[in-house]
Amino acid sequence: MGFEDQLTAIVGAAHVDVADAIRDDDTHDEALDGHPVRPRAVVRPGSTDEVAAIVRAAGVEGVPLTPRGSGTGLSGACTPVAGGVVVSFERMNRILEIDTANHVAVVEPGLTLAELDAALAPHHLIYPVFPGEQSASLGGNVATNAGGMRAVKYGVTRHHVLGIEAVLGTGEVISAGGKFVKSTSGYDLTQMVIGSEGTLALVTRATLRLHPRPEFHTTLLAPFPTIGAIASSVPPIVASGIGPVMVEYIDLVSMAGITANAGIDLGIPDDIKDVALAYLVIVLESHDATRLEEDAEALAEQIAGLGALDVYVLPDQAGAQLISARERAFWASKANGADDIVDVVVPRASIPAFLDAVSERAAATSSLVIGCGHAGDGNVHLSVWQPDADVRHTLLHDLMTSGLALGGAISGEHGIGTQKAGFLVELEDPVKLDLMRRIKAAFDPYGILNPGTIFDPAGSAGTAGSVGDPVTTAAHR
């Protein structure tokens, strides 16, 4: 039986697309510099058993599998492999349980953040991980260790996934972790799989930690004369104990772009606009309206003393519009023809030094580089306009090297994917890379899970196992 027939036998003909039936959406993610690849087939399993059967069949045939959630990734990590099969989790999108006693939700990977949020609201609960794209799936969030604007208060996906069920590259199913915060019972396989970008296992279920849902929010906007002044203001703001839920910076050009794109006017007087080079946006939340008002006043006073040109407490609607516009910063850059984006993370106190390096490299390569970012946790998101691919490569390389030199990492949020695999292999410690490849080989001995992602295609063969060169194990005999 051909491989497509095997897939049909596992999931039914309605859930396998081949040839012209393959949707364009399934050939790429949202990476700006990505190149769509048409896979051999797209399969939509409906259960863990079906996922395991697909993986077992692919292992025997040596067919690469690319897991796919909602395709909102920004690093080409769910770009298919030519001759490979996309495993789309869109049918596995159920909430299996909202456990209000243990404050957890158990979900299938294809569920989106927006769907989860709508289901949690009536229970006055929240899953607080907030990457800017709410159509992203929980499976994609787990695989990329998604972060976002609320990380300064709540942390990222890694801090909220208590357990997973996953299918290894052998087709074996594991269940790790559970409805508890901590265990010390051997290696933590849940944490190993989080952030592995579909290269170690296919996640079929996740147990998520929930929090009480704060009722009241307020947004503060503070123009600053320099980004350096913003960065220096963040440690005292975090140290104030008020505990903001978002601490974002937006540079002058990005602010103009995202507010114009969203059609909002924040009412900032021209004399302030003329001298503001960057903006700090802070969101506070609380279960108590009076307490929130007091906190906002205290924080506004503190920010004014930290070098802000002014501080505005935005009316609710304007605050929500600004956050929504900030979420859409990526789409504004894309609409304006950005050639690439960079998501280097540095220790938050090093943001000014990193941005100095960015300005210097942008000028040296005649590139336009602008951005915004999660000032509270050092994540800098830069949009890059540089049409020459070679010059752009050099620029990106230099920006990543600068971030590393400051104690950062080349991707803080979007992952390595296929787009940054070459950079990782070039810039990462070879001892660590070799260990990663050995871990990959243990989870995925046939090398069928998302080849080309994280490790560059040429370098990944070796110990990680090559596609089409299956090693016979007990599970496959």
Ligand X SMILES: Cc1cc2nc3c(=O)[nH]c(=O)nc-3n(C[C@H](O)[C@H](O)[C@H](O)COP(=O)(O)OP(=O)(O)OC[C@H]3O[C@@H](n4cnc5c(N)ncnc54)[C@H](O)[C@@H]3O)c2cc1C
Instruction: Catalog residues that contact ligand X under the rule CB under 6 A.
Output: 29-30, 66-74, 77-78, 89, 109, 131-133, 136-137, 139-141, 143-144, 146-148, 197-198, 202-203, 330-331, 413-414, 450, 453
Residue type, 255: M
CB of 45 to ligand X, least distance (A): 10
Closer CB to ligand X, 205 or 392, in the complex: 205
In the complex, residue closest to ligand X by CB: 140
Closer CB to ligand X, 313 or 425, in the complex: 425
Closer CB to ligand X, 115 or 295, in the complex: 115
On the CB side of 120, how many CA atoms lie within 13 Å of its CA? Answer: 25
Residue that the structure tokens 């910063």 belong to:
329
Closer CB to ligand X, 324 or 366, in the complex: 324
CB of 345 to ligand X, least distance (A): 11
Q: How far does the chain reach from its first CA to its final CA, in angstroms?
A: 18
Closer CB to ligand X, 84 or 470, in the complex: 84
Closer CB to ligand X, 56 or 68, in the complex: 68
For the sheet containing 201-209, what is the strand order?
95-99, 104-107, 201-209, 161-168, 173-177
CB of 297 to ligand X, least distance (A): 29
Quick one: which of 8, 163, 141 has its CA closest to 77?
A: 141
CB of 438 to ligand X, least distance (A): 20
Q: Which residues of 326-338 are buried (b: 16+ CB within 10 A; e: fewer)?
A: bbbbbbbbeeeeb
State how far the alpha carbon of 32 is from the alpha carbons of 45, 73, 370, 372, 384, in Å.
29, 10, 15, 17, 10
Closer CB to ligand X, 78 or 448, in the complex: 78
Closer CB to ligand X, 191 or 394, in the complex: 191
CB of 80 to ligand X, least distance (A): 10
Give yes or no for a contact between 110 and 116, defined as CB atoms under 8 angstroms apart: no
Helix (H) or strand (E) holding 354: helix 351-364
CB of 138 to ligand X, least distance (A): 8
CB of 267 to ligand X, least distance (A): 26
If 0-12 CB within 10 Å is exposed, 13-18 middle and 19+ buried, where does residue 400 land? buried
Sign of CA dihedral 467, 412, 106, 27: negative
CB of 38 to ligand X, least distance (A): 17
CB of 174 to ligand X, least distance (A): 13
State how far the alpha carbon of 193 is from the alpha carbons of 92, 106, 154, 463, in Å.
19, 17, 20, 19
Closer CB to ligand X, 331 or 385, in the complex: 331
If 0-12 CB within 10 Å is exposed, 13-18 middle and 19+ buried, where does residue 353 land? middle
CB of 291 to ligand X, least distance (A): 28
CB of 408 to ligand X, least distance (A): 15
Closer CB to ligand X, 37 or 308, in the complex: 37
- How crowded is residue 397: how many other Cβ atoms within 10 Å of its Cβ? 16
CB of 66 to ligand X, least distance (A): 6
Closer CB to ligand X, 174 or 268, in the complex: 174
Round to whole Å and give the CA distance between 223 and 349: 19
Q: What is the CA radius of gyration of the chain?
A: 23
State how far the alpha carbon of 228 is from the alpha carbons of 151, 264, 374, 384, in Å.
21, 26, 14, 20
In sequence order, the β-bridge partners of residue 383 are: 341, 370
Closer CB to ligand X, 30 or 295, in the complex: 30
* Structure tokens belonging to residue 225: 């004369």
CB of 464 to ligand X, least distance (A): 16
What angle, 0 to 180 degrees and rounded to 10, lies between the N-to-C axes of helices 3-11 and 48-61? 170
In sequence order, the β-bridge partners of residue 218 are: 284
Closer CB to ligand X, 223 or 373, in the complex: 373
Q: What are phi and psi of 170, to 5 degrees?
A: -90, -10
Give yes or no for a contact between 468 and 62, defined as CB atoms under 8 angstroms apart: yes
Contacts of 337 (CB under 8 A, 6+ apart): 385
